[in-house]
A and B are shown apart, each in its own frame.
Chain A
Amino acid sequence: MQKPEVTVIDYGVGNLLSVKRGLEHCGAVVTISSDAKTILSSSLVVLPGVGAFGNAMEALVALGLVDVILEVFQRQTPLLGICLGMQLLLDKSDEFGSTKGLGIIPGSVIPIPAKTVSGEAQKIPHIGWTSLSVSDSYANWDNTILGNNVSGDAAYFVHSFMATPLDTRHCIADCYYGGHKVVAVIQRDNTIGCQFHPEKSGNVGLNILKNFVLQLEPLKRT
Protein backbone atom coordinates (compact mmCIF):
# COMPACT_ATOMS: atom_id res chain seq x y z
CA MET A 1 0.00 0.00 0.00
CA GLN A 2 1.21 3.46 -0.81
CA LYS A 3 1.95 5.59 2.23
CA PRO A 4 -0.40 8.52 2.80
CA GLU A 5 1.17 11.86 1.98
CA VAL A 6 0.79 14.77 4.35
CA THR A 7 1.88 18.34 3.77
CA VAL A 8 2.63 20.41 6.86
CA ILE A 9 2.21 24.10 6.07
CA ASP A 10 5.37 26.01 6.89
CA TYR A 11 4.81 29.68 7.63
CA GLY A 12 7.85 30.19 9.79
CA VAL A 13 6.61 29.35 13.24
CA GLY A 14 7.10 26.64 15.80
CA ASN A 15 8.52 23.19 16.12
CA LEU A 16 7.61 21.55 12.82
CA LEU A 17 10.01 18.66 13.31
CA SER A 18 7.91 17.13 16.09
CA VAL A 19 4.73 17.39 13.99
CA LYS A 20 6.57 15.72 11.12
CA ARG A 21 7.92 12.95 13.34
CA GLY A 22 4.51 12.32 14.88
CA LEU A 23 2.90 11.95 11.45
CA GLU A 24 5.75 9.75 10.22
CA HIS A 25 5.33 7.57 13.28
CA CYS A 26 1.74 7.05 12.10
CA GLY A 27 2.85 5.94 8.67
CA ALA A 28 2.76 9.15 6.66
CA VAL A 29 5.24 10.56 4.19
CA VAL A 30 5.59 14.18 5.26
CA THR A 31 6.49 17.27 3.26
CA ILE A 32 7.00 20.61 4.98
CA SER A 33 6.13 23.37 2.54
CA SER A 34 4.79 26.87 2.00
CA ASP A 35 4.26 26.27 -1.72
CA ALA A 36 0.64 26.62 -2.87
CA LYS A 37 0.90 23.91 -5.52
CA THR A 38 2.44 21.40 -3.12
CA ILE A 39 -0.23 22.10 -0.50
CA LEU A 40 -3.11 21.89 -2.97
CA SER A 41 -1.89 18.65 -4.50
CA SER A 42 -1.51 16.97 -1.10
CA SER A 43 -4.11 14.45 0.03
CA LEU A 44 -3.82 15.55 3.66
CA VAL A 45 -2.82 18.94 5.06
CA VAL A 46 -1.72 20.02 8.54
CA LEU A 47 -1.78 23.63 9.72
CA PRO A 48 0.52 23.82 12.75
CA GLY A 49 1.23 26.89 14.83
CA VAL A 50 2.41 28.36 18.07
CA GLY A 51 2.76 31.99 19.11
CA ALA A 52 0.55 34.97 18.43
CA PHE A 53 -2.58 34.88 16.25
CA GLY A 54 -1.86 38.22 14.58
CA ASN A 55 1.71 37.30 13.59
CA ALA A 56 0.52 33.98 12.20
CA MET A 57 -2.22 35.57 10.06
CA GLU A 58 0.27 38.17 8.84
CA ALA A 59 2.66 35.41 7.81
CA LEU A 60 -0.11 33.47 6.03
CA VAL A 61 -1.18 36.62 4.17
CA ALA A 62 2.42 37.48 3.25
CA LEU A 63 2.97 33.97 1.85
CA GLY A 64 -0.33 34.05 -0.05
CA LEU A 65 -1.58 31.06 1.90
CA VAL A 66 -4.97 32.28 3.14
CA ASP A 67 -6.75 31.49 -0.13
CA VAL A 68 -4.80 28.25 -0.43
CA ILE A 69 -6.07 27.03 2.96
CA LEU A 70 -9.62 28.11 2.09
CA GLU A 71 -9.35 26.11 -1.10
CA VAL A 72 -8.14 23.07 0.86
CA PHE A 73 -11.30 23.42 2.97
CA GLN A 74 -13.59 23.91 -0.03
CA ARG A 75 -12.15 20.91 -1.84
CA GLN A 76 -12.87 18.84 1.27
CA THR A 77 -9.23 17.80 1.55
CA PRO A 78 -8.70 16.64 5.14
CA LEU A 79 -7.10 19.51 7.04
CA LEU A 80 -5.87 19.35 10.63
CA GLY A 81 -5.15 22.58 12.52
CA ILE A 82 -3.04 22.19 15.64
CA CYS A 83 -3.05 24.61 18.60
CA LEU A 84 -2.79 28.09 17.05
CA GLY A 85 -3.48 26.36 13.72
CA MET A 86 -6.86 25.36 15.18
CA GLN A 87 -7.60 28.87 16.44
CA LEU A 88 -6.82 30.33 13.01
CA LEU A 89 -9.78 28.34 11.60
CA LEU A 90 -12.21 30.68 13.38
CA ASP A 91 -13.48 34.10 12.25
CA LYS A 92 -11.42 36.27 14.54
CA SER A 93 -9.29 36.54 17.66
CA ASP A 94 -9.24 39.09 20.45
CA GLU A 95 -5.49 38.57 21.01
CA PHE A 96 -3.84 42.05 21.01
CA GLY A 97 -6.89 43.76 19.51
CA SER A 98 -9.17 42.05 17.03
CA THR A 99 -7.56 40.08 14.18
CA LYS A 100 -9.42 38.40 11.35
CA GLY A 101 -8.94 34.63 11.07
CA LEU A 102 -9.55 32.15 8.23
CA GLY A 103 -13.28 32.04 8.92
CA ILE A 104 -13.72 28.33 8.20
CA ILE A 105 -15.47 27.66 11.50
CA PRO A 106 -17.79 30.45 12.72
CA GLY A 107 -16.83 31.86 16.10
CA SER A 108 -14.06 33.74 17.83
CA VAL A 109 -10.95 33.23 19.91
CA ILE A 110 -11.00 34.79 23.39
CA PRO A 111 -8.66 34.82 26.41
CA ILE A 112 -8.88 31.95 28.91
CA PRO A 113 -10.52 33.43 32.04
CA ALA A 114 -7.88 34.60 34.55
CA LYS A 115 -9.96 33.26 37.43
CA THR A 116 -11.38 29.82 38.11
CA VAL A 117 -15.16 29.39 38.31
CA SER A 118 -14.84 29.71 42.08
CA GLY A 119 -13.06 33.04 41.70
CA GLU A 120 -9.46 32.06 42.46
CA ALA A 121 -6.58 33.34 40.31
CA GLN A 122 -5.37 30.65 37.91
CA LYS A 123 -2.14 30.22 36.00
CA ILE A 124 -2.13 31.44 32.40
CA PRO A 125 -0.99 29.97 29.96
CA HIS A 126 -2.88 26.75 30.53
CA ILE A 127 0.06 24.35 30.27
CA GLY A 128 -0.20 20.65 30.88
CA TRP A 129 -2.10 17.41 30.46
CA THR A 130 -5.84 17.81 30.67
CA SER A 131 -8.50 15.16 30.23
CA LEU A 132 -10.76 15.30 27.20
CA SER A 133 -14.51 14.81 27.36
CA VAL A 134 -17.15 14.25 24.69
CA SER A 135 -18.89 17.49 23.66
CA ASP A 136 -22.63 17.84 24.25
CA SER A 137 -23.57 17.52 20.60
CA TYR A 138 -21.89 14.11 20.28
CA ALA A 139 -22.97 10.88 21.95
CA ASN A 140 -19.48 9.40 21.61
CA TRP A 141 -16.33 9.66 19.47
CA ASP A 142 -17.09 6.74 17.13
CA ASN A 143 -16.09 7.58 13.56
CA THR A 144 -14.37 10.80 14.58
CA ILE A 145 -10.71 11.67 14.78
CA LEU A 146 -10.91 10.73 18.48
CA GLY A 147 -12.16 7.26 17.54
CA ASN A 148 -9.52 5.25 19.40
CA ASN A 149 -9.58 7.40 22.51
CA VAL A 150 -11.95 7.44 25.45
CA SER A 151 -13.36 10.24 27.55
CA GLY A 152 -10.83 10.97 30.32
CA ASP A 153 -7.76 10.49 28.13
CA ALA A 154 -5.40 13.42 28.67
CA ALA A 155 -3.68 15.54 26.02
CA TYR A 156 -0.98 18.19 26.26
CA PHE A 157 -2.26 21.76 26.10
CA VAL A 158 -0.34 25.01 26.02
CA HIS A 159 -2.38 28.13 25.28
CA SER A 160 -3.58 31.44 26.68
CA PHE A 161 -6.54 31.89 24.33
CA MET A 162 -9.40 29.57 23.48
CA ALA A 163 -11.75 29.01 20.57
CA THR A 164 -15.47 29.60 21.04
CA PRO A 165 -17.32 28.22 18.00
CA LEU A 166 -20.83 29.65 17.54
CA ASP A 167 -22.33 26.35 16.45
CA THR A 168 -21.91 23.69 19.14
CA ARG A 169 -22.26 21.02 16.43
CA HIS A 170 -18.72 21.95 15.43
CA CYS A 171 -17.39 20.84 18.83
CA ILE A 172 -16.28 17.23 19.28
CA ALA A 173 -14.26 17.35 22.49
CA ASP A 174 -13.90 19.71 25.45
CA CYS A 175 -11.69 19.95 28.47
CA TYR A 176 -12.00 21.89 31.70
CA TYR A 177 -9.53 24.43 33.05
CA GLY A 178 -10.27 26.04 36.39
CA GLY A 179 -13.81 24.74 35.96
CA HIS A 180 -14.31 26.56 32.66
CA LYS A 181 -15.22 24.55 29.63
CA VAL A 182 -12.52 24.88 26.96
CA VAL A 183 -13.16 23.57 23.46
CA ALA A 184 -10.49 20.99 22.63
CA VAL A 185 -11.41 19.54 19.22
CA ILE A 186 -13.54 21.12 16.49
CA GLN A 187 -14.64 19.94 13.09
CA ARG A 188 -16.49 21.26 10.07
CA ASP A 189 -16.66 18.99 7.05
CA ASN A 190 -13.17 17.57 6.60
CA THR A 191 -11.46 20.36 8.52
CA ILE A 192 -10.52 19.51 12.09
CA GLY A 193 -8.80 21.53 14.79
CA CYS A 194 -7.09 20.38 18.00
CA GLN A 195 -6.34 22.93 20.69
CA PHE A 196 -3.80 20.57 22.25
CA HIS A 197 -0.68 19.16 20.60
CA PRO A 198 -1.37 15.59 19.41
CA GLU A 199 2.30 15.24 18.48
CA LYS A 200 3.18 15.90 22.13
CA SER A 201 0.39 13.92 23.76
CA GLY A 202 1.91 10.43 23.87
CA ASN A 203 -0.28 7.56 22.70
CA VAL A 204 -3.49 9.59 23.03
CA GLY A 205 -2.14 12.07 20.50
CA LEU A 206 -0.65 9.42 18.24
CA ASN A 207 -4.11 7.78 18.05
CA ILE A 208 -5.47 11.06 16.74
CA LEU A 209 -2.70 11.47 14.19
CA LYS A 210 -3.17 7.87 13.10
CA ASN A 211 -6.88 8.46 12.55
CA PHE A 212 -6.07 11.53 10.53
CA VAL A 213 -3.37 9.84 8.46
CA LEU A 214 -5.02 6.48 7.89
CA GLN A 215 -8.77 6.66 8.35
CA LEU A 216 -9.57 10.07 7.01
CA GLU A 217 -7.66 9.48 3.85
CA PRO A 218 -10.30 7.28 2.17
CA LEU A 219 -12.80 10.11 2.64
CA LYS A 220 -11.13 12.03 -0.12
CA ARG A 221 -11.35 9.15 -2.56
CA THR A 222 -15.10 8.71 -2.22
Chain B
Amino acid sequence: MKIARLIARLDIKGSNLIKGIHLEGLRVIGSPNEYALRYYNQGVDELIFMDCVASLYGRNHLGDIISAATKDIFVPFTVGGGIRSIEDARQILRAGADKVAVNTAAVANPQLITEISQQFGCQCMVLSIAAVQVEQGRWEVRTDSGREHTGLDVVEWAKRGVALGAGEILLTSVDREGTRKGYDVELVKAVTKEVSVPLMASGGMGNPEDLISLFQDGDASAAVMADILHYNRAKISDIRAVAQKAGLGVRHFAEA
Protein backbone atom coordinates (compact mmCIF):
# COMPACT_ATOMS: atom_id res chain seq x y z
CA MET B 1 0.00 0.00 0.00
CA LYS B 2 1.15 3.53 -0.72
CA ILE B 3 2.10 5.28 2.51
CA ALA B 4 1.26 8.99 2.54
CA ARG B 5 3.15 11.37 4.79
CA LEU B 6 1.71 13.83 7.32
CA ILE B 7 3.85 16.95 7.45
CA ALA B 8 3.68 20.01 9.70
CA ARG B 9 4.68 23.29 8.14
CA LEU B 10 6.17 26.01 10.32
CA ASP B 11 6.23 29.43 8.70
CA ILE B 12 8.78 31.58 10.42
CA LYS B 13 9.40 35.27 10.67
CA GLY B 14 12.49 36.22 12.63
CA SER B 15 12.39 33.91 15.63
CA ASN B 16 8.60 33.46 15.67
CA LEU B 17 6.26 30.84 14.31
CA ILE B 18 3.62 32.73 12.36
CA LYS B 19 0.55 31.95 10.28
CA GLY B 20 -1.13 33.94 7.56
CA ILE B 21 -3.95 33.72 5.08
CA HIS B 22 -3.00 33.52 1.40
CA LEU B 23 0.60 33.86 2.71
CA GLU B 24 -0.28 37.40 3.92
CA GLY B 25 -1.53 39.00 7.13
CA LEU B 26 0.94 37.18 9.31
CA ARG B 27 0.00 36.46 12.92
CA VAL B 28 2.45 35.34 15.62
CA ILE B 29 1.70 31.86 17.01
CA GLY B 30 4.67 31.16 19.29
CA SER B 31 8.09 29.51 19.43
CA PRO B 32 8.85 27.37 16.37
CA ASN B 33 10.96 24.92 18.37
CA GLU B 34 8.20 24.31 20.93
CA TYR B 35 5.65 23.62 18.22
CA ALA B 36 8.09 21.46 16.26
CA LEU B 37 8.76 19.30 19.32
CA ARG B 38 5.05 19.02 20.08
CA TYR B 39 4.37 17.73 16.55
CA TYR B 40 7.32 15.33 16.72
CA ASN B 41 5.96 13.85 19.94
CA GLN B 42 2.53 13.54 18.32
CA GLY B 43 4.11 11.49 15.53
CA VAL B 44 4.49 13.91 12.65
CA ASP B 45 6.31 12.32 9.68
CA GLU B 46 8.33 15.39 8.64
CA LEU B 47 8.66 19.08 9.34
CA ILE B 48 8.91 22.00 6.96
CA PHE B 49 10.51 25.21 8.21
CA MET B 50 9.85 28.13 5.90
CA ASP B 51 11.31 31.58 6.41
CA CYS B 52 8.46 33.47 4.81
CA VAL B 53 10.00 36.90 4.76
CA ALA B 54 13.48 35.80 3.67
CA SER B 55 12.93 36.17 -0.05
CA LEU B 56 11.51 39.67 0.44
CA TYR B 57 14.43 40.93 2.46
CA GLY B 58 17.13 38.53 1.39
CA ARG B 59 17.98 37.09 4.77
CA ASN B 60 17.56 33.85 6.58
CA HIS B 61 17.22 33.35 10.33
CA LEU B 62 16.55 29.68 10.21
CA GLY B 63 19.99 28.23 10.93
CA ASP B 64 19.74 28.54 14.71
CA ILE B 65 16.18 27.25 14.86
CA ILE B 66 17.09 24.19 12.76
CA SER B 67 20.25 23.40 14.73
CA ALA B 68 18.34 23.58 17.99
CA ALA B 69 15.63 21.32 16.57
CA THR B 70 18.14 18.57 15.70
CA LYS B 71 18.82 18.07 19.41
CA ASP B 72 15.51 16.48 20.22
CA ILE B 73 13.64 15.93 16.96
CA PHE B 74 14.48 12.92 14.81
CA VAL B 75 12.38 13.25 11.67
CA PRO B 76 13.36 14.89 8.36
CA PHE B 77 13.43 18.65 7.97
CA THR B 78 12.77 20.53 4.75
CA VAL B 79 13.95 24.11 4.98
CA GLY B 80 13.13 26.95 2.63
CA GLY B 81 12.93 30.70 2.27
CA GLY B 82 15.62 32.87 0.81
CA ILE B 83 17.85 30.08 -0.52
CA ARG B 84 19.57 31.66 -3.50
CA SER B 85 22.78 29.75 -4.07
CA ILE B 86 24.66 26.49 -3.59
CA GLU B 87 26.36 28.16 -0.62
CA ASP B 88 23.00 29.02 1.01
CA ALA B 89 21.92 25.40 0.51
CA ARG B 90 25.18 24.11 1.99
CA GLN B 91 24.78 26.34 5.07
CA ILE B 92 21.25 25.22 5.76
CA LEU B 93 22.10 21.52 5.23
CA ARG B 94 25.03 21.91 7.60
CA ALA B 95 22.68 23.42 10.16
CA GLY B 96 20.68 20.18 10.12
CA ALA B 97 18.27 20.39 7.18
CA ASP B 98 17.76 17.26 5.09
CA LYS B 99 16.24 19.02 2.11
CA VAL B 100 16.13 22.55 0.83
CA ALA B 101 13.01 24.04 -0.74
CA VAL B 102 13.66 26.64 -3.41
CA ASN B 103 11.03 28.81 -5.07
CA THR B 104 11.96 32.39 -5.98
CA ALA B 105 15.63 31.72 -6.78
CA ALA B 106 14.73 28.68 -8.91
CA VAL B 107 12.41 30.78 -11.05
CA ALA B 108 15.07 33.46 -11.43
CA ASN B 109 17.81 30.92 -12.13
CA PRO B 110 16.50 27.44 -13.04
CA GLN B 111 20.08 26.17 -13.29
CA LEU B 112 20.22 26.38 -9.48
CA ILE B 113 17.91 23.33 -9.36
CA THR B 114 20.46 21.30 -11.29
CA GLU B 115 23.38 22.60 -9.28
CA ILE B 116 21.83 21.76 -5.90
CA SER B 117 20.66 18.39 -7.19
CA GLN B 118 24.09 17.45 -8.52
CA GLN B 119 25.94 18.71 -5.49
CA PHE B 120 23.76 17.25 -2.73
CA GLY B 121 21.57 14.69 -4.51
CA CYS B 122 18.12 15.11 -6.00
CA GLN B 123 16.52 14.00 -2.72
CA CYS B 124 17.79 17.28 -1.21
CA MET B 125 16.30 19.51 -3.88
CA VAL B 126 12.63 20.31 -3.27
CA LEU B 127 11.07 22.57 -5.85
CA SER B 128 8.66 24.81 -3.95
CA ILE B 129 5.85 26.16 -6.10
CA ALA B 130 3.29 28.74 -4.97
CA ALA B 131 0.27 28.48 -7.26
CA VAL B 132 -2.57 30.90 -7.96
CA GLN B 133 -5.49 29.84 -10.13
CA VAL B 134 -5.88 32.01 -13.23
CA GLU B 135 -8.68 30.14 -14.96
CA GLN B 136 -10.41 26.76 -14.85
CA GLY B 137 -7.66 24.14 -14.93
CA ARG B 138 -4.78 26.62 -15.10
CA TRP B 139 -2.51 28.00 -12.36
CA GLU B 140 0.28 30.55 -12.37
CA VAL B 141 3.56 30.24 -10.48
CA ARG B 142 4.08 33.03 -7.96
CA THR B 143 7.27 33.99 -6.16
CA ASP B 144 8.17 36.15 -3.15
CA SER B 145 5.52 34.67 -0.85
CA GLY B 146 2.90 34.66 -3.58
CA ARG B 147 3.21 38.34 -4.46
CA GLU B 148 5.13 38.31 -7.71
CA HIS B 149 3.67 37.14 -11.02
CA THR B 150 5.91 34.99 -13.19
CA GLY B 151 3.66 34.12 -16.13
CA LEU B 152 4.80 30.50 -15.73
CA ASP B 153 2.25 27.69 -15.88
CA VAL B 154 2.44 25.54 -12.74
CA VAL B 155 2.25 22.17 -14.49
CA GLU B 156 4.85 23.14 -17.09
CA TRP B 157 7.17 24.56 -14.42
CA ALA B 158 6.84 21.42 -12.29
CA LYS B 159 7.75 19.23 -15.27
CA ARG B 160 10.70 21.43 -16.10
CA GLY B 161 11.87 21.47 -12.47
CA VAL B 162 11.85 17.68 -12.33
CA ALA B 163 13.74 17.48 -15.63
CA LEU B 164 16.30 19.88 -14.14
CA GLY B 165 16.80 17.64 -11.11
CA ALA B 166 14.18 18.36 -8.44
CA GLY B 167 13.56 15.20 -6.39
CA GLU B 168 10.32 16.37 -4.80
CA ILE B 169 7.74 19.11 -5.20
CA LEU B 170 6.18 21.23 -2.48
CA LEU B 171 3.04 22.66 -4.03
CA THR B 172 1.25 25.45 -2.15
CA SER B 173 -2.12 26.72 -3.22
CA VAL B 174 -1.99 30.43 -2.38
CA ASP B 175 -5.76 30.59 -2.99
CA ARG B 176 -6.45 28.01 -0.28
CA GLU B 177 -3.59 28.78 2.11
CA GLY B 178 -4.92 29.61 5.59
CA THR B 179 -8.57 29.45 4.43
CA ARG B 180 -9.49 26.00 5.88
CA LYS B 181 -11.46 25.33 2.69
CA GLY B 182 -9.65 22.08 1.90
CA TYR B 183 -6.82 21.35 -0.50
CA ASP B 184 -7.02 22.35 -4.15
CA VAL B 185 -7.19 18.73 -5.25
CA GLU B 186 -7.64 19.67 -8.89
CA LEU B 187 -4.35 21.57 -8.83
CA VAL B 188 -2.59 18.69 -7.08
CA LYS B 189 -3.94 16.17 -9.55
CA ALA B 190 -2.93 18.32 -12.52
CA VAL B 191 0.68 18.18 -11.29
CA THR B 192 0.92 14.61 -9.93
CA LYS B 193 -0.33 13.11 -13.18
CA GLU B 194 2.49 14.85 -15.07
CA VAL B 195 5.50 14.34 -12.79
CA SER B 196 7.29 11.22 -11.57
CA VAL B 197 8.57 12.58 -8.23
CA PRO B 198 6.65 12.72 -4.94
CA LEU B 199 4.47 15.77 -4.29
CA MET B 200 3.78 17.43 -0.93
CA ALA B 201 0.53 19.40 -1.06
CA SER B 202 0.13 22.50 1.06
CA GLY B 203 -2.66 24.98 1.69
CA GLY B 204 -6.21 24.70 2.90
CA MET B 205 -6.46 21.75 5.30
CA GLY B 206 -9.67 22.54 7.16
CA ASN B 207 -10.41 19.23 8.83
CA PRO B 208 -8.79 15.78 8.90
CA GLU B 209 -11.23 14.42 6.28
CA ASP B 210 -9.65 16.73 3.69
CA LEU B 211 -6.85 14.19 3.45
CA ILE B 212 -9.01 11.56 1.88
CA SER B 213 -9.61 13.29 -1.42
CA LEU B 214 -6.06 14.72 -1.45
CA PHE B 215 -4.56 11.24 -1.37
CA GLN B 216 -7.23 9.30 -3.25
CA ASP B 217 -8.06 11.78 -6.02
CA GLY B 218 -5.03 14.08 -5.96
CA ASP B 219 -2.46 11.27 -5.65
CA ALA B 220 -0.34 13.46 -3.36
CA SER B 221 2.51 11.75 -1.51
CA ALA B 222 2.21 14.02 1.51
CA ALA B 223 -0.26 16.36 3.18
CA VAL B 224 1.25 19.54 4.55
CA MET B 225 -0.62 21.21 7.40
CA ALA B 226 -0.22 24.30 9.51
CA ASP B 227 -3.35 26.12 10.67
CA ILE B 228 -5.18 22.94 11.75
CA LEU B 229 -2.25 22.00 14.02
CA HIS B 230 -1.15 25.43 15.22
CA TYR B 231 -4.64 26.32 16.43
CA ASN B 232 -4.96 22.82 17.88
CA ARG B 233 -8.05 22.03 15.85
CA ALA B 234 -6.68 18.50 15.51
CA LYS B 235 -3.66 16.52 16.64
CA ILE B 236 -1.47 14.45 14.35
CA SER B 237 -2.86 11.35 16.05
CA ASP B 238 -6.46 12.40 15.25
CA ILE B 239 -5.50 12.99 11.65
CA ARG B 240 -3.68 9.66 11.42
CA ALA B 241 -6.73 7.90 12.84
CA VAL B 242 -9.03 9.50 10.25
CA ALA B 243 -6.66 8.45 7.47
CA GLN B 244 -6.50 4.89 8.76
CA LYS B 245 -10.26 4.67 9.09
CA ALA B 246 -10.60 5.78 5.48
CA GLY B 247 -8.25 2.98 4.43
CA LEU B 248 -5.36 5.29 3.52
CA GLY B 249 -1.80 4.11 4.07
CA VAL B 250 -0.05 6.13 6.78
CA ARG B 251 2.97 5.44 8.94
CA HIS B 252 2.66 2.87 11.66
CA PHE B 253 3.40 5.01 14.73
CA ALA B 254 3.52 3.79 18.29
CA GLU B 255 3.35 6.57 20.88
CA ALA B 256 6.17 6.40 23.37
List 10 A-B pairs, minimum CB-CB distance, nearest first. Answer: A51-B121, A129-B251, A17-B96, A21-B70, A123-B198, A158-B123, A154-B251, A200-B76, A154-B252, A50-B121
Q: A52 to B252, Cβ gap below 8 A? A: no
Interface flags for A7-28 (1: CB within 8 Å of B; 0: not) read: 0000001111110011001000
Q: Residue on A with the closest CB to B4? A: A128
In the bound assembly, the distance between CA atoms of A15 and B67 in angstroms comes to 11
| A199 with B120, Cβ < 8 A, contacts A128-B221, A129-B5 known | no
Q: A15 to B93, Cβ gap below 8 A? A: yes
Q: Residue on A with the closest CB to B256? A: A203
**Contact of A127 (CB < 8 Å), options: B72, B198, B252, B254:** B198
Listed by A's residue number, 13 A-B pairs whose Cβ atoms lie within 8 Å are A13-B121, A15-B93, A17-B95, A18-B96, A51-B123, A129-B45, A129-B252, A153-B254, A156-B76, A158-B76, A159-B123, A202-B253, A205-B74
Question: Does B196 sit at the interface, judged by CB under 8 A?
Answer: yes
Q: A123 to B75, Cβ gap below 8 A? A: no
Question: Does B177 sit at the interface, judged by CB under 8 A?
Answer: no
Using a CB-CB cutoff of 8 Å, which residues 201-256 of chain B contact chain A? 221-222, 251-254, 256
Q: Which residues of B contact A201 (CB under 8 A)?
A: 74-75
Q: A156 to B75, Cβ gap below 8 A? A: yes
Question: Does A170 sit at the interface, judged by CB under 8 A?
Answer: no
In the bound assembly, the distance between CA atoms of A22 and B123 in angstroms comes to 20
A218 → B minimal CB distance (Å): 25
Q: A127 to B221, Cβ gap below 8 A? A: yes
A93 → B minimal CB distance (Å): 13
Using a CB-CB cutoff of 8 Å, which residues 81-129 of chain A contact chain B? 84, 114, 121, 123-125, 127-129
Q: A128 to B45, Cβ gap below 8 A? A: yes
In the bound assembly, the distance between CA atoms of A131 and B250 in angstroms comes to 10
A contact residues vs B (CB 8 Å cutoff): 13-18, 21-22, 25, 50-52, 84, 114, 121, 123-125, 127-131, 152-154, 156, 158-160, 197, 199-203, 205-206
Q: B70 to A200, Cβ gap below 8 A? A: no
Q: B198 to A128, Cβ gap below 8 A? A: yes
Q: Residue on B with the closest CB to A83? A: B123
In the bound assembly, the distance between CA atoms of A160 and B121 in angstroms comes to 10
Q: B198 to A202, Cβ gap below 8 A? A: no
Known interface pairs A17-B70, A201-B75; 16 further A-B residue pairs with C-beta atoms within 8 A, sorted by A's residue number: A15-B93, A21-B70, A50-B124, A51-B121, A123-B197, A125-B122, A127-B123, A127-B198, A127-B221, A128-B3, A154-B252, A158-B98, A160-B122, A200-B98, A202-B43, A203-B74
